[in-house]
Amino acid sequence: MKTAPVTAPILLFFLLFAFFCVQPPLAISQDWVYTVQQGDNLWRIGKENLKSMRYWRKLVDLNRIEDPFYLQPGSTIHIPFDWLKKEVSVARLIAVSGEAFVTRNNSDAQIKAFVNMFLWCHDRIQTASESNVTLKFADGSEVLVQAESEVIIGKLMRYGTTGMAETNLLLESGRTHNKVIPASGPGSRFEIKTPSAIAAVRGTEYRIGTDRDGSSRVEVLTGVVQFDSSGKRDRLESGYGLVSFLDKKPLPPVKLLPPPDISKLPKNIVRVPFPIKIQPIPGAKNYRLQIGVDKNFSSLLFDKTFSGTHLWGPSLSNGIYFLRINGIDKNGLEGLYAVHQFSMAAHPVPPVPISPAIDAVVENCQPTFLWSQPTGIEHYHFQLADNNEFTVLLADEINLNRPQYLLQKQLLPGLYHWRLASADLSAKEGPYSDPQQFRCPPSRPDMSNAKLDKEEMVYRWRGLRTEARYRFQVSRDKAFTNPCIDQELAEPQFDLQGLTPGTYYIQVATITPDGFTGPYSLPQRVTVEPPPPHPLVVAGSVLLMIAIILL
């Protein structure tokens, strides 16, 4: 039996020793790695980041630095995590919308929240309805605390100027939308606890919420979230969500609903409040609409859920805004959102047209127009047209200082449209109101010269020199409760042949080219006489009488 040469393992040992010892120091999981910038020196780096300058010489030796006061830009410095300076940090309120209150640690007094307010460990913040605040932490991470939520600040720590921070929050109720900066080292950790779960991340965007019954929901939008609940740990990937409970295991992770298609939403909005119509998302039970002034939604001007796909935006000042919409599934998990930028140009708001009312039939075809008086308005702009595109104007009156206008001419029968705009004290004119239509009906047909041609049994009346048609009715009674004839005619005449002898009433209405039937004429009375006897019948009757006399 041959034995292996003793020199082989010895040679392998020296090769491994040379590999690990000659190579430059490698970063291990507990090292913070700093990239040298122009002008850096090791003394400043140590002063800013070491918990004691006693570690400075060790830092020189660890990184094999020949000249600590001259460092090559782009080179790296490795600092063990245990050597780093650890300090208590604070959170800062960077946005407040609506009302929110802060309760300091060891105090029952509530302080109204304000922008640039600092929050310390164990401070509590509560948001009112239709309100929200945004917190910013030492590493740049941001938490949007939504309406009717309560958050307690837990541990807030930072590690020198490394950018690493340790953040712990307790969400007692409500919802938060979290944007966590990617971890810059082993000390970075961002954790939110709820009554039924813990969500820990090292760089991601996600939402977390908790209900009054203690159940919690987490929705991962980007990155990964580690979710612990009821002794079970789940790793939630981007695009997935999960529901947890106080007294039972969480539901399995599910894929979040896709974002809605909002490609057809308008880019310019001139009405407040304004409608938003989206296509349904399969599986969505509700929808959430949020509006902010920047694409990052660092603060919300509006945050509301809707049960259908017909959403409504609020009254906003003129300007540029961003909205985002997401679906909500049967378990309350909110899906991925879609973002849309739009401009608001709704002010000054137009008056509300009052009279003529929409679709009104105006007997007086020289009407007086009336409208509402928005506050802060200096004058009004009135327009009238016979088409809803207002390509040709029949009236265009600007600088009207009263909420009414008497038309200066008589209108012909037809359909008309009117609209208004307001101008404020700066003479800036806002958008027009929605066009409101009304109708000037045709007058009652003139039956003064109507007559019945008894030979032809044709009833004729004076027609209009237009493309109008006529509604012709004949009835036995003056009230026309049951007309025996009710026909639409192209000509102003009707053949009455076929009617049995007797008394009848006739009324006529004009039908305009667009199908509108105007008022009926006053009833006209006509009598249909029995026809005269036939000559043969008369001759026969005479012969019969003569025969009777002769007998």
**How far is 429 from 370, CA to CA, in rounded Å?**
19
pLDDT at 17: 38
Q: Using CB atoms within 10 A of its CB, is residue 335 exposed (0-12), middle (13-18) or buried (19+)?
A: buried
Same fold, 353-436 and 451-528: yes
Architecture of domain 27-83: Roll (3.10)
User: 451-528 falls under which CATH superfamily?
Assistant: Immunoglobulins (2.60.40.10)
pLDDT at 535: 60
Domain 88-255 sits in CATH 2.60.120.1440: yes
- The single-letter code of the amino acid at 342 is F
| φ and ψ of 460, to 5 deg | -125, 150
pLDDT digits (tens, 9 = 90+) for 198-255: 888 877 999 999 998 999 999 999 999 998 887 788 899 999 999 999 888 999 999 9
pLDDT at 342: 98
**How far is 350 from 429, CA to CA, in rounded Å?**
9
* Tokens found for residue 404: 């009414």
**How far is 195 from 229, CA to CA, in rounded Å?**
10
Domains of the chain, residue spans: 27-83, 88-255, 268-344, 353-436, 451-528
Q: Which fold has domain 268-344?
A: Immunoglobulin-like (2.60.40)
Q: What is the pLDDT along the chain (551 residues), one digit of tens a residue?
A: 444 444 444 443 443 333 333 333 333 447 878 778 888 888 888 888 888 888 888 888 899 888 888 888 888 888 887 888 888 899 999 999 999 999 999 888 999 999 999 999 999 999 999 999 999 998 899 999 999 999 999 989 888 777 778 899 999 999 999 999 887 667 678 899 999 888 888 779 999 999 989 999 999 999 999 988 877 888 999 999 999 998 889 999 999 999 999 999 999 999 999 999 999 999 999 999 999 999 999 999 999 999 999 999 999 999 999 999 999 999 999 999 999 999 999 999 999 999 999 999 998 999 999 999 999 899 999 999 999 999 999 999 999 999 999 999 999 889 999 999 999 988 889 999 999 999 999 888 888 888 888 777 888 888 876 678 999 999 999 999 999 999 999 989 998 888 889 999 999 999 888 889 889 999 999 888 887 766 665 555 556 676 677 66
DSSP for 299-358? S-SEEEEESSSEEEE----SEEEEEEEEEE-TTS-B---EEEEEEE---SPPPPEEESPT
| Contact status, residue 488 vs residue 459, Cβ threshold 8 Å | no
**Predicted TM-score (pTM) above 0.85:** no
User: 353-436 falls under which CATH superfamily?
Assistant: Immunoglobulins (2.60.40.10)
pLDDT at 153: 96
